[in-house]
Structure 1
Amino acid sequence: MQAWLVHPAYAALPLHARIQRAVRQLIVDGALGPGRPLPASRALARSLGVSRDTVEAAYCQLHAEGFIDRRVGSGSFVAEVKAFSAAQKVPPRDALQRHKEPSLSKRGAAMSRSGGVREQLVPRPFAPGVPETRSFPLSLWERLERQVLKETGTQALLHGDPQGAEPLRRAIADYVNLERGAHASADRVLVLTSSQQAMALCANMLLDPGDRIFIEDPVYYGARKAFDAAGLECVPIPVDHQGITVERILSQPHKAKAVFLTPSHQFPTGATLALDRRLSLIEWAGKHQTWIIEDDYDSEFHYAGKPTACMQGLDPHDRTIYIGTFTKSLFPGLRIAYVVLPPQLVKPMTVARTLLDGHTASIAQLTLARFMDGGHFGAYVRTMRGVYCERLDALVGLVRTHLSAFVEPRIPIGGLQMPCVLTCGLPECTAIDAARRVGVELLGLSALHASGAGEAGFLMGFAAYTPIELDVAVRKLAGALKAATNP
């Protein structure tokens, strides 16, 4: 028991709590069996060098929890709890941790096997999908946040509207209508914490386990994992230079209940879905009462003219769910995304959202609403669009100079990353491992192809890294690939 009093892990606990936990553990381990007398509080206090009141406090807590019985005139005894008898002793914590196969539901097992969607806490080149955060106008954001707190007071500390703060929903609706050609209103917007949450909601609310969903091939890994975790059967449809090949869907119209798309800037190829294909999919969804899940993840950053309008604004049948996020346009730590829903889905989706996390943080929502209403969001996006365009140009030049013997760049017209196809015969996994050993992060392309027919290569994120940082990283990568090619 003395060990508990000096153990560094319990240093923050008061003495009586340390004694109480030590005695409780001896009972749980079976070292103190049912009915066994405990030392008198005075004797134990003398032995441990603490006050009698400290021991009394520990015994009182053990009695309240049912671990010991206290009998007036007789002393304290281990309670008659069969669960902690020697024959039924609880295994040590280390033994519990050694079990490799926990008892999970089918859905839980699928989620665990997927590995989840994890982002680097401190991204390094060339982690894709990461925006520049070092130049974000924090002082402006802090000033707007102070204004929110001054006007709302403690009201902002309470539970918020599960659908989202009305000022932010209104600002989002105005933005997507003006900039993305959407057909939205504040009452059709649901504010969430991430686009990943939006995809999980769609998968679980619109389809049943075993239902089929058409997905792009290649496809965004987070979407595939969300659909797999929901028990859906993903049907891959090839992507060409005009986006998803709609003919494959139209030839088997009843094979799936939904389709997932990144039509404005396909991930990872960068293709834009052609207008005639968009209209064909919209008619297919209206005719067969299927759903279109449109992920518009980075359309703010388009470097060659204006981006194509979203599909949701073209859909007269209200079969399109439009997903947007501020993770890439502002910063990942904001944790605010949104969906523009058909009217009939607003209530059920909002109810379902309350079962996940209740609502998005109110202070951040209201601050973002002011940021958008004040014109700061548009100005910031325009500034960063120029910055990212310069960084893309820098990366293209560096790749052509230092990596031309290994890869062929596929220069995108937008987004935060550039696909590169391996041309040197080096296996993709070998290239990625070689890069990681020199501190360079690459996302392989082949794993994004559900059909397994994709070209070997990788994505190179550029938005979060300065031209100097890109130059250093490209040179490291060139050295790593050269070493891997000629071991």
Structure 2
Amino acid sequence: MATSLVLDASSQAPLHRQLYEALRASIVAGRLSPGTRLLSTRALAEQLDLSRNTVMNAYTQLLAEGYLVGQLGSGTYVARELPERRPAQRALIRPPSKGASPPPISKRGTTMAAAHAGLSATLGLIQSGMAFRLGTPSVDAFPSELWGRLLHRRWQRSWREVLSHQDPRGYLPLRQALADYLATSRGVRCGPEQVLIVNGSQQAISMVAQVLLDPGDAVWVEDPGYIVAQGVLKAAGATLVHVPVDEEGLNVEAAIRLSPNARLATVTPSSQFPLGITLSHRRRLELLQWAERSNAWVFEDDYDSEYRYVGRPLACLQGLTPDARVLYTGTFSKVLTPNLRLGYLVVPEALVETFVAARIFSDFQSAPLEQAVLTDFITEGHFSRHVRRMRTLYAERQALLVEEARRELAGLIDIGPADTGMHLLGWLPPEMDDRTAAERAAAAGISAPPLSAFRGQSSGRGALLLGYAAVPERDISEGVRRLAQALR
């Protein structure tokens, strides 16, 4: 395998980046055919006279993008279906053949299948291509060597504790560390007993739906908004009430007119997805007052609040007033890596026992070893340093994307900087359909999903969502040029 991998020690490009590109080119060209087993990271590092971390970083990037797949205890293989060859609008659930009786499934199963069918085209566009994939942190900047040392140390010192039975709420030192961090950085009012460790924000919203909603209950959702969370709510039998978002965020007055007796409101107040708007203080108070008055709840998804480039991160909804009727969630998928399936859910004291029961009946607990390593990562200060580094890196990548877009995409896309987040909106001319533009971009190997795919009842000017956090600088420049060619 190594004979086709030519690296240039004099190049300014990092060696892990060169190795990634060489492997990707061999896979795309077919020199490494689907299903081929790659050398182990140690063996390839010895062949190429590289550090093992260099090889691991390249493999990690290819795994995250779908060019490689790992099989536990077997090795790493070239994916049998590459990202470039995936149809953008493929349904993952095959329709039954003609004459075949449909399998007997529940109403909830039917609802889930229908919700997924509506997501498949958009998810295909998000996953295709390299630039400008959405909602993904920089895997190449993940502190893999440090994480490996912490992992090894934890295993050496406390493997018995790690393998023993754990509290379904999660590893107590991690919950304590999170309660302290959230209090100082986000203004969250909670103790460790109110923190539940979950497998990401999707599990958090799923548990909230199970505990707080009955089939048919109305739920306010932002429009445009996060369609994956909306799919979870649909699967739980909720009735979605699409509430318009304006320059102040979720329009609470409009929501009350549409459905005053809703049981739940789901919001992304720190950086509204996908528009990036911050919910105004006035709207925040209106939302909390409505929840108190209506005996309803607010689900606050603080998915990327760490990435605010102007001023300090804003205080969260949950901490604005004592005893706020708010359930607060965050995830490490946007800060560290999507494959670290760890997040947290902060619940009011009165609901702790009920949510612990829901956690037990869900999957009991998250991976204890990862929880223990994450605890060390936070308490030893690595997490705060990593966030500061990523904030600087992402601000630089955002600025480059704006600069390149203004030079190469003038007249095709209107784009400007944002104070928060990991993506920018590229606004299209009024006469250009954003779904058509997204499909053209996907055909050119560019991931740029359309804003209209995240709309429910609302309408408006079309735009493309351009993620920059996971895209190295040279790929931003190349991606902009390819996107310009596709749109022209």
Q: TM-score, structure 2 length as denominator? A: 0.76
- Which structure has the bigger radius of gyration? 1
Does the 8 A contact of 2:309 with 2:420 survive in 1? yes
Alpha-carbon distance in structure 2 between the residues aligned to 1:95 and 1:398: 43
Residue 305 of structure 2 aligns with which residue? Answer: 299
Question: Aligned partners of 1:121, 1:450: CA distance in 2, in Å?
Answer: 21
Partner of 1:171: 177
Give 2:399's match in structure 1, choosing from 393, 414, 424.
Answer: 393
Amino acid at match of 1:112: A
- What's the counterpart of residue 70 of structure 1? none
Q: Which residue of 2 aligns with 1:421?
A: 427
Query: Which residues in structure 2 correspond to 1:126-205 (within 5 Å)?
Result: 126-205=132-211
Q: Could you tell me which amino acid in structure 2 is paired with residue 256 of structure 1? A: A
State the partner residue of 2:410: 404
- Corresponding residue of 1:341: 347
Alignment counterpart, residue 458 of structure 1, candidates 454, 464, 470: 464
CA distance in 2, matches of 1:224, 1:461: 21
In structure 1, how many angstroms separate the alpha carbons of the residues matched to 2:238 and 2:464? Answer: 27
Aligned-residue offset at 1:157: 2.3
Contact 1:407 1:424 in 2 (8 A): no
Task: Give the TM-score of the pair, scaled to structure 1.
Answer: 0.76
Equivalent in the alignment of 1:232: 238
- Secondary structure at 1:349 match in 2: helix
Which residue in 2 is equivalent to 1:435?
441
**C-alpha distance after superposition, 1:388-409 (max 9, x if no partner):** 0000000011111111211212
Residue in 1 that maps onto 2:384: 378
Give the match for residue 101 of structure 1: 102
Deviation at 1:121, TM superposition (A): 7.3
Quote the offset at 1:411 in angstroms.
2.9
SS of equivalent residue, structure 1 residue 214: strand
Range with greater deviation from structure 2 (314-323 or 326-335)? 314-323
Query: Residue 371 of structure 2 is aligned with which of 358, 365, 376?
Result: 365
Name the SS for the 2:269 alignment partner: coil
Assess if the C-alpha contact under 8 Å between 1:253 and 1:288 holds in 2. no
Q: How far, CA to CA, are the matches of 1:261 and 1:251 in structure 2?
A: 17
Paired amino acid for 2:295? Q
Tell me: CA distance 1:150–1:97, structure 2 relative to 1, closer, same or farther (3 Å).
farther
User: Corresponding residue for 1:74?
Assistant: none
**Greater CA deviation, 140-149 or 302-311?**
140-149
Change (3 A) 1:170 1:418: same
| Residue in structure 2 matched with residue 113 of structure 1 by the alignment | 114
Moved more, 419-428 or 343-352: 419-428
**In structure 2, C-alpha distance between the alignment counterparts of 1:303 and 1:273, rounded to whole Å:** 17
Contact 2:252 2:287 in 1 (8 A): yes
Asked if the contact 1:291–1:320 (Cα under 8 Å) also holds between the matched residues in 2, the reply is yes
Q: Do 1:406 and 1:424's aligned partners in 2 also have CA atoms closer than 8 Å?
A: no
AA matched with 1:149: W
Matched, 1:254 2:260: yes
What SS does the corresponding residue of 2:159 show, helix, strand or coil? helix
Quick one: distance in 1 between partners of 2:296 and 2:95? 49
1:319 shift after superposition: 0.7
Task: Report if the CA contact (8 A) 2:415-2:425 is conserved.
Answer: yes
Aligned-residue offset at 1:96: 8.6
2:480 pairs with 1:479: no
The answer on whether the counterparts of 2:127 and 2:447 sit within 8 Å (CA) in structure 1 is no
Show CA shifts across 1:164-192 (max 9, x none).
00011011111110000110210000000
1:380 is displaced (CA, Å) by: 0.3
1:12-37 per-position Cα deviation (integer Å, ceiling 9, x unaligned): xxxxxxxxxxxxxxxxxxxxxxxxxx
Question: Structure 1: how far apart are the matches of 2:160 and 2:130?
Answer: 39
Deviations 1:438-483 (A, max 9, x none): 110111111211114132111000000112101101100100110x
Contact 1:388 1:463 in 2 (8 A): yes
Q: Is the 8 A contact 1:410 1:421 kept in 2?
A: no
What is the match of residue 48 of structure 2?
none
Task: State the SS of the aligned residue for 2:140.
Answer: coil
Confirm or deny: 8 A CA contact 1:253 1:284 kept in the other structure: no
Higher relative contact order (CA 8 A, sep 6+): 2
Greater CA drift, 419-428 or 312-321: 419-428
In the alignment, structure 2 segments of 5+ residues that lack a partner are 1-93
Deviations 1:316-335 (A, max 9, x none): 23310001000001111110
What residue number does 2:334 align with? 328
Give 1:220's match in structure 2, choosing from 222, 226, 245. 226
Deviation of 1:154 after TM superposition, in Å, equals 2.9
User: Offset at 1:95?
Assistant: 13
Q: How many residues align?
A: 389
Question: What letter matches 1:267 in structure 2?
Answer: F
**Deviations, residues 281-300 of structure 1 (Å, cap 9, x unaligned):** 11111122100000000000
Which residue of the partner structure matches residue 44 of structure 2?
none
| Cα distance in 1, alignment partners of residues 171 and 370 from structure 2 | 10
CA–CA distance in 2 between the matches of 1:122 and 1:381?
A: 27
| Counterparts in 2 of 1:360 and 1:302: CA distance versus 1, 3 Å | same
Inter-partner Cα distance in structure 1 for 2:487 and 2:136: 24
In structure 2, the residue corresponding to 1:184 is in which secondary structure?
coil
Q: Whole-Å Cα distance in 2 between the matches of residues 375 and 477 of structure 1?
A: 40
* Pairwise CA distance, 1:353: 1.6
Q: Please, which moves more after superposition, 320-329 or 445-454?
A: 445-454
**Residue number in structure 2 paired with 1:264:** 270
User: Match for residue 474 of structure 2?
Assistant: 468
Cα shift at 1:123: 6.3
1:146 is displaced (CA, Å) by: 1.8
Q: Distance in 2 between matches of 1:130 and 1:477?
A: 19
Q: Any gaps of 5 or more consecutive residues in structure 1? A: 1-93, 483-487
Aligned AA (2:311): G
Give the secondary structure class of the aligned counterpart of 1:408. coil
Answer whether contact 1:411 1:419 (CA < 8 A) is retained: no
TM-aligned CA distance change 1:138 to 1:100, over 3 Å: farther
Identity of aligned residues (%): 38
- Give the whole-Å Cα distance in 2 for the aligned partners of 1:414 and 1:254: 31
The residue matched to 2:319 in structure 1 has which SS? helix
Partner secondary structure for residue 419 of structure 1? strand
Separation in 2 of the partners of 1:292 and 1:95? 37
Assess, with a 3 A threshold, how the Cα gap between structure 1 residues 333 and 123 changes in structure 2: closer, same or farther. farther
- Contact (CA 8 Å) 1:445, 1:458: kept in 2 or not? yes
**1:238 partner amino acid:** P
Confirm or deny that 1:125 pairs with 2:128: no
